[in-house]
Amino acid sequence: MSDTPSPTPSPATPETPAENPGAAAPASGLVRDIVVRTLGVKKIYKMGDTITHALRGVDLDIYRGEYMAIMGPSGSGKSTLFNMVGGLDKPSEGMVFIDEVDVAALDSYELAWMRCRKIGYIFQSFNLLPTLTAMENVTMPMVFANVDPDEARDRGYDLLQKVGIGERWNHRPGRMSGGQQQRVAIARALANNPAIVLADEPTANLDHRTGAQIIALLKSLSREMGVTVISATHDHNMLDICDRVVWIRDGEIERIERREDLNIQVGSIDGGKH
Ligand SMILES: Nc1ncnc2c1ncn2[C@@H]1O[C@H](COP(=O)(O)OP(=O)(O)OP(=O)(O)O)[C@@H](O)[C@H]1O
Ligand SMILES: [Mg+2]
């Protein structure tokens, strides 16, 4: 088997914003590159006699380099959608393309390959390995990707510098603040130059000011490295800087808004939808 899963071309042609309401306008009239595409995605969970329609047919295009926030009430399907666009689970119906690869066509080896190299994950609770140093946490995904150890160390140090904690490369998570730990987790997510970073409530365990710093960092890194950031969030700071917000309700996209069209008011960011 070759080292690289062969991409299956996404069947649809790129859309203009007029065909895809809420799409961010192309910067210079150029067609934008789609990095994730979901087509009619449904997810049904069966537990005994209970059947839950967690996603009821989601069509969503996410563009390369875009910063997208996913909002919705508890149980609306945000994590389920995350699992789909992150290649962590497969739909019951419909198709998901990640960087032009049809996720359903991948075997378990190819899926692992994609998750390791194409996607970086950031979690609410940081999820660093406590016995490893910052550097070891960041270079861990590079070990899985068979990166040469010298190169991994150089890249690890470079990433730790980028996220502002280069001098703490030898510290273990227990000796770092929450904000510092999340910086390590961001560096780890970027370890293998992913096309996509998935962040599930990345600021929920941080104070407001630290959360704002983490969001600003994610934004500048996404611009600098051209990485697509997809984040479930309830954080005003995130809504202030994201390119688009997808509002999910009962397993369906309720609406998609561009940031400039958002009317964010303190205390009513979700439009009273909870
Ligand atoms: N593994 C599972 N097995 C059975 N039902 C599930 C499973 N995962 C999610 N569900 C159900 O699917 C629906 C959507 O859940 P999901 O976790 O996607 O919601 P969410 O929007 O992420 O909620 P929250 O904001 O609380 O995290 C819910 O009704 C949930 O109970
Ligand atoms: Mg969830």
What's the rounded Cα separation, in Å, for the pair 228 and 196? Answer: 5
Q: What CATH number was assigned to the domain covering residues 65-79+108-261?
A: 3.40.50.300
Bridge-based pairing of strands 34-47 and 50-63 is antiparallel
Ligand nearest to the CA of 72: 1
User: What pLDDT shows up at residue 22?
Assistant: 52
Assess whether the C-beta atom of 52 lies below 6 angstroms from ligand 1: yes
Q: Is 27 in the pocket of ligand 1 (CB under 6 A)?
A: no
Q: What is the pLDDT, as a whole number, of residue 30?
A: 52
Atom 19 (ligand 1) nearest CA: 75
Residue nearest ligand 1's atom 11 by CA: 54
**What spacing in Å lies between the alpha carbon of 201 and ligand 1's midpoint?**
15
Residue ranges of the chain with per-residue pLDDT less than 50: 1-19, 21, 24-29, 265-274
Do 242 and 267 contact (CB within 8 A), yes or no?
A: no
Q: What CA–CA distance (Å, rounded) separates 61 from 37?
A: 5
pLDDT at position 27: 46
CA of 60 from ligand 2 middle (Å) equals 18
pLDDT at position 12, please? Answer: 43
Return the pLDDT at 264: 56
Q: Which residues contact 204 (CB under 8 A, 6 or more apart)?
A: 124, 234, 235
CB of residue 8 inside a 6 A radius of ligand 1: no
Q: Does the CB atom of residue 83 touch ligand 1 within 6 A?
A: no
> What's the rounded Cα separation, in Å, for the pair 190 and 122?
10
| pTM of the shown model | 0.84
- Domain residue extents for the chain: 65-79+108-261
Please name which ligand lies nearest the alpha carbon of 83.
Answer: 1
Q: Of the ligands numbered here, which is closest to the C-alpha atom of 75? A: 1
